[in-house]
Amino acid sequence: MSPSPVALALAPFGDLADPRVNRTKRHRLLDILFIALCAVVSGANDCVAMDKFGKAKRAWLEKYLSLPEGTPSHDTFSRVFAALDGRLFLECFPKWVEGLEVSTQGKVVAIDGKTARASLDRAKGQNPLHVVSAWVTENRLFLGQEVVAEKSNEITAIPKLLEVLELTGAIVTIDALGCQKEIAAKIREKKADYVLAVKGNQEHLETDIIEAFAAVDEGRSPATLRSYTEQDKNHGRIETRCTQAMAVPATLRNRDDWKDLASIARCSRTYTDKGVAKSEVRYYISSLAALVKPIAKAIRGHWGVENGLHWVLDMYFAEDRNRARTGHEAANLALLRRWVISLLRRDTAVSGGIEKKRLQAGWNDQVRETLLGLFADI
């Protein structure tokens, strides 16, 4: 007998341990996970909405599931996601990614953190959840996450996240907080390259890079210097980015402390914000040779994670307003949202952006089946 569509769709999560005692199991764990996944694809942003979806779509769900006890209540969804071991749930996710057979070769993988502000619980002394995500910018695919109590803990979270990712041939980008020698070494250990933003958190590094490019501005350009300019025009907004890269200069102190450091870069960005002209300059180090276009692509890709993932999570999934605070609930729902974004971003069969696809999935059962890869015999 061939596996059911649900069993195939959730095969990577088949060994996930059920945290409940037997007497409380009115619904199978994978059934709860499947209904939650369908609900979020169809527009649900919290456990109450998952409950409403289940009741409204029970007849459709019974094409795929046996539901002798009906569909789970919102309390059941909340209790299960709170009790479910977030680490074990997360460890299943790379298996799902592997099933997509997506190569990271030459792709930009942006690693960046986002705080779910409503998960703050001052009464219990609980900091808001901070999720460090890995995002393939070109494929718009979520690879994994590491959850920490606050932004300052990203330094310890990033190596843990890197450890579980398949990154061969990727270009990993991280903002200045993650510009650490140990992180650069870990990226190279994973057979990937790095482009790391630089600020004053590393002694001498930013100062030496600024001085190297100041010499360029004074007309003393090294032979390895390369420049590349791009311009975007969107909705009346013009943004210009000028990226310059050069081989690591001899004047850069402690250069050998950075694993395979090969180049430094400067990106000057000018743009309009609400009619006001603005500009900023950022500096980078990289294990890539001083080939400016790949470095410029990586820098732009990292900026894109804000629009491609973080903005979407807040605008369409209301993550910043989600008040899940008990146990592992906030972390597990964060993973579920990012999983759904990957499904929606990768789909090419259903027209529209994230919001329109979710609306269509809520209205139309066949659209939902297409987005989830379900094709049941009716």
Residue 373 in tokens: 């890869």
Residue 317 in tokens: 């999934």
Residue 27 CB neighbours (<10 A): 22
pLDDT score of 1:
52
When computed from its CA atoms, the radius of gyration of the chain, rounded to whole angstroms, is 23
- One-letter amino acid identity for 181? K
- Torsions phi, psi for 307 (to 5 deg): -80, -40
- One-letter amino acid identity for 87? R
- What is the residue-level pLDDT of the chain in tens, covering all 378 positions? 567 888 888 999 988 999 988 877 899 999 999 999 999 999 999 999 999 999 999 999 999 999 999 999 999 999 999 999 988 998 888 888 888 877 889 999 999 998 876 665 565 655 667 889 999 988 889 999 998 876 667 888 999 999 989 999 999 999 999 999 999 999 999 999 999 999 988 889 999 999 999 999 999 999 999 999 998 877 667 889 999 999 999 999 999 999 999 999 999 999 887 778 889 999 999 999 999 999 999 999 998 788 889 999 999 998 888 777 688 898 899 999 999 999 999 899 999 999 999 999 999 999 999 999 886 443
**94-315 CATH pick, 1.10.287, 3.90.350, 2.60.40, 3.40.50:** 3.90.350
Residues of the chain with CATH 3.90.350: 94-315
How far lies 99's CA from each of 4, 8, 107, 133, 348, in Å?
17, 11, 18, 19, 18
Whole-model pTM over 0.95: no
pLDDT score of 5:
82
Furthest-apart CA atoms within the chain: distance in Å: 77
pLDDT score of 377:
44
- One-letter amino acid identity for 304? G
pLDDT score of 121:
58
Taking each helix axis from N to C end, the angle separating 329-346 and 29-41, rounded to the nearest 10 degrees, works out to 60
Rounded CA-CA distance 155/201 in Å is 12
**For 70-105, b where at least 16 C-beta lie within 10 A, e where not — what string?**
ebbbeebbbbbbbbbebeebbbbbeebbeeeebebe
How far lies 266's CA from each of 126, 164, 219, 368, in Å?
39, 31, 16, 45
- Distance linking the first and last C-alpha atoms of the chain: 17
Q: How far is CA 40 from the centre of its chain?
A: 17
pLDDT score of 102:
79
Tell me which H or E stretch contains 358: helix 354-363
